[in-house]
């Protein structure tokens, strides 16, 4: 299939347009070229966008696809009237019908992150990210009483990316601790975690997949050897069963799926908005 370009145009960061657009595009078996055009907040910038989109249409011989989350009507009109593209206006599709249904006007706020100085949720999220970074890979035992969740599992089972996703997306303070041979010899969780057992959630992984991941980092090492991976995973799962810890396998799950499962178990209220 010839190249097809998809533009994500916004007067904010463009994250909403790109996230929503990608969710729709994922239903189709093709790989378009992605172009995000954020902060289109003036008529002059809108005209520049029109020229860029139309130039792309001429080069490719196909209409580009344009996802927009533009709040300013005047700027949107320039895009609508000038672009030789398939235009998908998300606010026009969803916000305006909701205004009619609810009988009220929307805030028409530019960008999800506007006026962050007054947004407590944003500040909570930054604090959660800092907490998760400070408590990554067992770096610190301090302030664990503040943690919303503590992830445990063998090295490279997905603890760090999951912790950061929980912090960035949901504002959860997530610590994570690796389970190591010393813990297996003692046959119990690290002592610092025992007072916080109710907050602990375990991650495991198939040994074969774990070996592949570790070989990318330390090829042909004992750390990455399949036999060692089998031993560590078996010991970690046995420890979690003895401790009565909830856990799941990350082998075939995305970070989003892992995080959602953890939220359902640990903080289900965070799934409500």
Q: Is 260 annotated as a binding residue?
A: no
Q: Is 249 annotated as a binding residue?
A: no
Q: Is 153 annotated as a binding residue?
A: yes
| 9 class by beta-carbon count within 10 Å (0-12 exposed, 13-18 middle, 19+ buried) | buried
Q: Which residues contact 28 (CB under 8 A, 6 or more apart)?
A: none
- Residue 94 CA to residue 97 CA, distance in Å, equals 6
Residue 66 to residues 53, 193, 194: CA-CA distances in angstroms? 9, 49, 52
Backbone angles phi, psi at 144, to 5 degrees: -65, -20
| DSSP secondary structure of 33-71 | EEEEE----SHHHHHHHHHHHHHHHHHHTS--EEEEE--
Q: Is 154 annotated as a binding residue?
A: yes
- Residue 222 CA to residue 237 CA, distance in Å, equals 20
Q: Is 156 annotated as a binding residue?
A: yes
Q: Among candidates 137, 253, 155, 260, which has minimal Cα distance to 207?
A: 155
Torsion of CA 34, 40, 43, 49, to 10 degrees: -20
Q: Is 159 annotated as a binding residue?
A: yes
| 44 class by beta-carbon count within 10 Å (0-12 exposed, 13-18 middle, 19+ buried) | exposed
Which tokens is 6 given? 């998809």
Residue 163 to residues 74, 90, 200, 221, 251: CA-CA distances in angstroms? 42, 31, 12, 27, 17
Annotated binding site for ADP: 153-160
Annotated binding site: 153-160
């Amino acid at each position: 299939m010839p190249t097809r370009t998809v533009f994500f145009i916004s007067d904010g960061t463009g994250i909403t347009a790109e996230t929503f657009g990608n969710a729709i595009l994922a239903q189709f078996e093709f790989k378009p070229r992605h172009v995000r055009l954020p902060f289109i907040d003036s008529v002059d910038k809108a005209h520049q966008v029109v020229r860029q989109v139309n130039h792309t249409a001429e080069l490719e011989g196909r209409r580009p696809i344009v996802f927009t989350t533009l709040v300013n009507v005047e700027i949107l009109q320039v895009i609508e009237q000038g672009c030789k593209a398939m235009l998908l206006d998300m606010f026009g599709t969803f916000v305006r019908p909701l205004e009619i249904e609810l009988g009220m006007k929307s805030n028409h706020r530019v960008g999800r992150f506007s006026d962050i100085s007054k947004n407590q949720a944003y500040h909570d999220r930054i604090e959660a990210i800092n907490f998760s970074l400070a408590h990554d890979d067992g770096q610190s035992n301090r302030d664990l009483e503040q943690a919303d969740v503590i992830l445990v599992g063998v090295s490279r089972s997905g603890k760090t990316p999951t912790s950061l996703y929980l912090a960035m997306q949901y504002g959860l303070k997530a610590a994570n601790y690796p389970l190591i041979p010393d813990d297996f010899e003692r046959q119990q969780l690290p002592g610092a975690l025992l007072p916080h057992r109710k907050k602990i959630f375990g991650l495991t992984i198939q040994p074969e997949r774990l070996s592949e991941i570790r070989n990318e980092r330390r090829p042909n090492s004992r750390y990455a050897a399949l036999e060692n991976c089998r031993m560590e995973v078996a010991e970690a799962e046995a420890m979690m069963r003895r401790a009565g810890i909830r856990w799941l396998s990350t082998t075939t799950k995305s970070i989003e799926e892992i995080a959602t499962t953890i939220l359902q178990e640990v903080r289900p209220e965070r799934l409500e908005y």
